Amino acid sequence: MSRKTLGGAMLAAALLGACASDAPAPRSLVLQAQPLEVLATLPRLSASVVVDRVILPDYVKRNPLLERIAPGELNYRDSARWAEPLGEALPRVLADDLSALLGRSVTLTKLRPQANAADPAWLLWVDVRRLEADAQGQVLLEAHWSWLREGQGEKPWQHGVFQAQASSRDPERIALAHSQVLAELARAVAGGLAQAR
């Protein structure tokens, strides 16, 4: 290889490196519990309340923010990422939203208290089918859920579809709309607990 060719290759590599270093870092987004009022229609519970199982589709578990651009096509926005896996964030924020709505502490399964045969815990199972934004900034959450008493039979499953419109396509606004649909799920789930009793 001639010196001229080698020099040109080195210059090209240096320019590519400079361009790569100028690329902005991806924005980090978080789910947040929403300010919610205690539901007055719910009776006080003495038993523990636990977010026990939350299942997410694999396509939702990836860190880049995703949007559905066609019925069978998704786009992952590498310029914006969830700061933590949604498999960790969603159950925790759901527990926080439920704590506000129920006016009591709701724990995660890994922090679950010892079993109490006299007053079995209420366990929440959630199967998230869809959680995504569309190209216009509308966020959709579709889920099935069920409340169970620890050590007792399964209760009927409920289903809901929740939507929130982001004020823009800015990733922070899209993340807020994700938090809002999760709060709507929490309201429906809390109402389902009253029926399950």
Each residue's pLDDT tens digit, 82-125: 999 999 999 999 999 999 999 999 999 877 666 666 678 899 99
Whichever domain contains 131, its CATH number is: 3.40.50.10610
Give the integer Cα–Cα distance in Å for 51 and 109: 6
Read off the DSSP letter of residue 34.
Answer: -
pLDDT digits (tens, 9 = 90+) for 135-168: 999 999 999 999 999 888 778 999 999 999 999 9
Q: Do residues 80 and 133 make contact, with C-beta atoms less than 8 angstroms apart?
A: no
Give the per-residue pLDDT at 106.
93
Domain count, the chain: 1
Tokens 């240096």 belong to 14
How far is Cα 188 from Cα 162, in angstroms, rounded to an integer? Answer: 10
Residue 29 pLDDT: 96
Report helix, strand or coil for 76.
Answer: strand
**Whole-angstrom distance, CA of residue 26 vs CA of residue 24:** 6
pLDDT at 9 over 80: no
pLDDT digits (tens, 9 = 90+) for 27-64: 999 999 999 999 877 777 788 899 999 999 999 999 99
Range of the domain at 60: 3-196
Residue 85 near residue 31 (C-beta atoms within 8 A): no
110 touches 92 (CB < 8 A): no
Backbone angles phi, psi at 83, to 5 degrees: -70, -20
* Helix/strand/coil for 106: coil
